Amino acid sequence: MAIAASLSEDRNPGSRAALDRLSALVEADMQGVNRLIIERMDSPVALIPQLASHIVAAGGKRMRPMMTLAAAQMLGYRGDGHLKLAAAVEFIHTATLLHDDVVDESDLRRGVDSANAVWGNKPSVLVGDFLFSRAFQLMVETGELQVLAILSNASAVIAQGEVQQLITANDISTDETAYLEVIRAKTAQLFAAATEVGGVIAGANEAQRQALDSYGLNLGIAFQLTDDVLDYSAKQAELGKAVGDDFRDGKITLPIILAVQRASAEERAFWQRTLEEQDIRDGDLEHAFALLQKHGVLAEALERARAYGKAAREALLTLPDGPVRAALDDLIDFTIERAF
Amino acid sequence: MAIAASLSEDRNPGSRAALDRLSALVEADMQGVNRLIIERMDSPVALIPQLASHIVAAGGKRMRPMMTLAAAQMLGYRGDGHLKLAAAVEFIHTATLLHDDVVDESDLRRGVDSANAVWGNKPSVLVGDFLFSRAFQLMVETGELQVLAILSNASAVIAQGEVQQLITANDISTDETAYLEVIRAKTAQLFAAATEVGGVIAGANEAQRQALDSYGLNLGIAFQLTDDVLDYSAKQAELGKAVGDDFRDGKITLPIILAVQRASAEERAFWQRTLEEQDIRDGDLEHAFALLQKHGVLAEALERARAYGKAAREALLTLPDGPVRAALDDLIDFTIERAF
């Protein structure tokens, strides 16, 4: 696909290695987290672990729990509370994926059939609720009220962001500010909370907590900006995800917002028909690709992601130097350059 | 309807007065709870308070928060943490209703169109998540980790119970034990937790906590048993609820379990066709009513409810005597006799 080819000029072969370096640093802890995840998603009601393991086993990169573990390690934490927090963070993330599947009626999630497609809406909603409750049980076990405050606040903000996203869907008058509010809430807030709670359990001071929060928040925004570019990239297909889902759902992401701003009258009519009226015909996705390329908006959206990556990098500077901080720095590049 | 007429022989005109007595005792506190509910369901995302107030305004009896308030008052609590807990309990309840509407595709809830019917599945799931998060924020504000433990455990059990209910639906081989497990989890657990946390914040000792938990649990089981009878009662229609919802959904409740046990071959074939195969024709609901009446199973289910009510009554005996305890005792009768 032409777009992927043009983007791949920025190809950064070291980006996957960056993720691997962080993974190696937290590997022993992550094994503990994985054991906790398996243990706590169990239930006498067999459908629950069946459905939960479907989505948990599908894996993903476990970026969020990794950030919790890394933050705790960077601040010299000795104990096992961070494992519980990391598992709690992954459960909250999994619960939102399950509920998001209901919401978006998406058919593909991480390259396997979505839980929703396999079991239907009902169990997906309820197993999401179960995992969400399990997340709070794990937090309670750490005895850290601050952690409960941070993650319950984050959960409320995430839900607000998801509702806001529903409202902006199919509305091409959505502007960049509204879009950024949505991704800050629905995605970046959990990255921020995941990183901050790792610090909190390690006894971070106020400045360190703020730095961890800022790193996570900016990284999360960069992550979502990149994700929204990937939805129009051939690379996405290699990652086992469907391309063009956002287009078919009428999601108004930054590439679309920028392309609409620059649209001719004819192009505007195309976006109206496809995104607002959801009248999508053969060849429309390819035409959308062509318009995004013509206006250079995918590259521009990635530039925005890099600006947030820079802010994340600056936040790291006040935190203890060492291999973990270096790996978190590298993670910024991975997050943005995974598109290539 | 003939069934309602036969049941109304047990009519207890004092039952509504029992609820009113408890309401009067906690009235000032409940006004505080209602203010908190309005305040905390607010959000800059306008759809959230719109949708939430639709279900919260529909009212209901606020039995669960009332139990939290009553338990705190009975144990002499001075403070306002119990208002936050009562609001949290109501938010958890509301969230489960919103998610249950998605699950059951029910069209009527408390006599108004369900949120799901008005706004669709997507916002209902997300606003439920929002309220659930708000509940945990409120609990965190009280600074009581034990409360967070009790209500996060309860939430996990509720979700398990709801999934278990999905599994037993449309399966007429479900037995009474499995049914009791489901209602204990999906309904009684929140009654138990609501009552217990009111005591916890008031500094209840272990024996008092167990008594409050036992009262709430047994009352909750009695409540659900009665609700499941009401779904086949003409009285239900007067309460603004649809009659026969459980029948149409293929829910296997105690009246059905007992009727299936006593069914002739022909009757069994009827239950199989309607509940298992969900092939429901004109006149089937009336025939179901007739079979339930013929085997006397509605009255028998209410007898079971009364046995749980007795256990709830016994649990109260170890708690401080006074007007609140007397009102909680009366609440047992209201819970069961509201059918009449």
Asked whether the beta carbons of residue B122 and residue A134 sit closer than 8 angstroms, the reply is no
Asked whether the beta carbons of residue B125 and residue A132 sit closer than 8 angstroms, the reply is no
pLDDT of residue A60: 74
C-alpha A333/C-alpha A331 separation (Å) is 5
Model confidence pLDDT, tens digit, residues B185-233: 999 999 999 999 999 999 999 999 999 999 999 999 999 999 999 999 8
C-alpha A96/C-alpha A186 separation (Å) is 9
The confidence band for B105, taking pLDDT boundaries of 50, 70 and 90, is very low
Q: What is the ipTM of this complex?
A: 0.91
- Going from N- to C-terminal start, the domains of chain B cover 14-337
Q: Given CATH 3.30.465.10, say whether it is the number of domain A14-337.
A: no
Asked whether the beta carbons of residue B166 and residue A123 sit closer than 8 angstroms, the reply is yes
A160 contacts on B by Cβ (under 8 Å): 43-45, 48, 130
> What are the Cα distances from residue B29, in Å, to A19, A160, B22, B144?
53, 29, 12, 19
Q: Which of A127, A139, A167 sits opposite B47 (nearest CB)?
A: A167
B184 contacts on A by Cβ (under 8 Å): none
**What residue type is assigned to position A240 of the chain?**
G
pLDDT of residue B249: 87
Model confidence pLDDT, tens digit, residues A139-161: 999 999 999 999 999 999 999 99
DSSP string spanning B132-184?
HHHHHHHHHHHT-HHHHHHHHHHHHHHHHHHHHHHHHTT-TT--HHHHHHHHI
Q: At residue B62, does pLDDT exceed 80?
A: yes
pLDDT of residue B99: 92
Model confidence pLDDT, tens digit, residues B246-267: 999 899 999 999 999 999 999 9
**Low-confidence spans in chain A with pLDDT less than 70:** 1-15, 57-59, 103-118, 234-241, 339-340
Minimal CA separation from A126 to chain B, in Å? 6
Asked whether the beta carbons of residue A99 and residue B129 sit closer than 8 angstroms, the reply is yes
Mean pLDDT computed over B291-306:
96
- The answer to whether A125 contacts chain B (CB < 8 Å) is yes
Q: What burial letters (b/e) apply to A24-47, b meaning 16+ CB within 10 Å?
A: ebbeebbebbbebbeebbebebeb
Percent over 90 (pLDDT), chain A = 77
C-alpha B116/C-alpha B102 separation (Å) is 6
pLDDT of residue A239: 63
Q: Which of B102, B148, B156 sits opposite A148 (nearest CB)?
A: B148
Taking each helix axis from N to C terminus, what angle separates B121-142 and A81-104, rounded to the nearest 10 degrees? 160
Picking from B146, B142, B65, B193, the residue whose alpha carbon sits closest to that of residue A137 is: B146
- In the beta sheet, which residues pair with residue A113? A108
Tokens of A59: 């894996």
